[in-house]
Amino acid sequence: MKLCFATNNTHKVKEIQALLGNSFTLLSLADIGCAEELAEDQDTLEGNSLQKAQYVFDNYNVACFADDTGLEVEALNGEPGVYSARYAGAQRNSDDNIELLLKNLRGKENLKARFRTVVTLITEKGTHQFEGILTGEITFDKRGTQGFGYDPVFVAEGYTQTLAQLELSEKNKISHRARAVQKLVLFLRNRQHE
């Protein structure tokens, strides 16, 4: 089955293709000729995910899924949340975002956080959403070069390494995106047998 993943983020495409395996042909936005930046102006992860998938489905007539992910920090009342990618401004710079996050957490004892991903799938048969959550805590010690975003300062529950220190294969076993995509893949496989 051919599916478009509504993103221009090559890190995400690589992660998801590893999870999908050979059962599905994953197309990127570039593969379908979509060069425009997809809007993300909703106030929830669910809304942004749906907005992107709907745009691709409506304008390119292809089954697709889109995701939106937020880092939700307890001591910051769930911030940066839906604004994670642009927390420090529209330039969407990961280093700037991390610096602002750590600045806002200075002096706080509770460093519990979670990554939450919402994936929206749209096909001719309907719209479905899947959620994945990874709990852990923030560390002030940036470590690792793998991954992207807040990975260098996030330590998953049960681990001592940051997500940026884990091999992609290990991260794919536990990540929020992996958990949401595993639900998506299970749904798609069940659909193939209907």
Quote the CA–CA distance of 66 and 185 in Å, as a whole number: 13
For 174-187, letters b (16+ CB in 10 Å) and e give: bbbbbbbbbbbbee
Spatial distance between the Cα atoms of 186 and 104, rounded to a whole number of angstroms = 39
Decide: 144 and 162 in contact? Cβ < 8 Å: yes
Cα–Cα distance for residue pair 5/45, rounded to 1 Å:
16
In angstroms, the CA 117 to CA 180 distance is 7
- Residue whose C-alpha is closest to residue 117's, from 47, 179, 39: 179
Of 41, 43, 68, 141, the catalytic one is 68
Active site residue 151: no
CA 153 from centre of chain: 16
- Which helix (H) or strand (E) segment is 177 a member of? helix 176-192
Q: What is the set of active-site residues?
A: 68
